[in-house]
Amino acid sequence: MERRRLVFGATWFVMVGLLGLAFFRFTDSRIKSPDAAAEEEAVLTVVATSSPSLIQTTDTAVAAQRPVTEKPKPLPVRVKLDVPFVTETPDGVWNGPWKNACEEASLVMVEALYLGKSELPAAEAKKRMTELFAIQDEIWKSNANSDAARTAKIANDHMAFKAVLSEAPTLDQVKRELAAGHPVIAPVNGKELGNPNIPFLASGSFYHMLVITGYDDATGEFITNDDGDEKAGAGRRYKYGPFLVSVHDYVYRTKTTDGPMRMILTSEK
């Protein structure tokens, strides 16, 4: 009898111990230490940050991931940049290279603005334009009818401002450049401008280049420094529509001014 009691007691003791051990493990798996909880939270945070599409499923979260497109700022009704004016014939003599110096005159006028000059004396302009003739003669063996690409290269390599070609710019794009303080150089078919003050040969290419210095929405006009107009070239105005139609680049192969519509956008170096 005593032995049975001992065996029963031992068995009961073992069972109680096993139950206690099981309870301890169970409660340990349910209660985490502060460090373990922090580690788990950190892992969840990384997942949420690195893979938002896996966690953020609400409409608000999806909207937050879309890029925000800002509306363009409204433009001023009128802009007029103080670009000094010079004609393509500073001496008023239409001979030699001065018969085709509209590109050089345009470059010199824009450079004067970026150099902070308010005036451009004829003698100074003539000296600078003569330097540009020599540069073109050395590179291309000619200084006549430089298209937009050549003109932009001259600006980038030898002038105090940067130039970038813009293919078929819109009216809004041109106006935004001007509103930002950047004059725009435009190659045009001079005959289509309809300016009676510019003498074009009937048998010529009608190639011309000028500087757009501003715009006026009240009248629907571009304001330009038209270096080919000796009488009223400073601040010469052209209606938006007809002017944009006249914008064409020079084509060397055919020696005509019916190339693509492109302009030269300028900026500080």
Of 27-31, 53-57, 174-178, the poorest mean pLDDT is in: 53-57
Burial (CB count <10 Å: 0-12, 13-18, 19+), residue 107: buried
> What integer pLDDT is reported at residue 47 of this predicted model?
35
Q: Token pair for residue 39?
A: 């580690």
Which residues touch 108 (CB under 8 Å, ≥6 apart)? 86, 120, 125, 128, 129, 132
Output phi, psi for 223, to 5 deg. Answer: -105, 130
For residue 87, with 0-12 CB atoms within 10 Å meaning exposed, 13-18 middle and 19 or more buried, which class applies? buried
Residues 6 or more apart whose CB falls under 8 angstroms from that of 135 comprise 154, 158
Q: What is the mean pLDDT of residues 70-77?
A: 89
CB 250 within 8 A of CB 145: yes
Note whether 185 and 110 are within 8 A (CB): yes
From residue 139, alpha-carbon distances to 83, 131, 146 in Å are 28, 13, 12
Which of 223, 205, 206 lies closest to 214 in space, CA to CA?
223
- Summarised one tens digit per residue, pLDDT across range 118-162 is 999 999 999 999 999 999 999 999 999 999 999 999 999 999 999
Highest mean pLDDT among 34-38, 67-71, 85-89: 85-89
Residue 62 has pLDDT above 60, yes or no: no
Strand partners, 43: none
| Whole-angstrom distance, CA of residue 147 vs CA of residue 152 | 9
What separation in angstroms does the CA of 188 have from each of 19, 27, 201? 98, 87, 15
Using CA atoms, how far apart are residues 243 and 189, in angstroms rounded to an integer? Answer: 9
Q: Is pLDDT at 205 greater than 70 in this prediction?
A: yes
For the chain, the C-alpha Rg in angstroms (whole number) is: 38
pTM: 0.74
- Alpha carbon distance 115, 11 (integer Å): 104
Biggest alpha carbon distance in the chain? 142
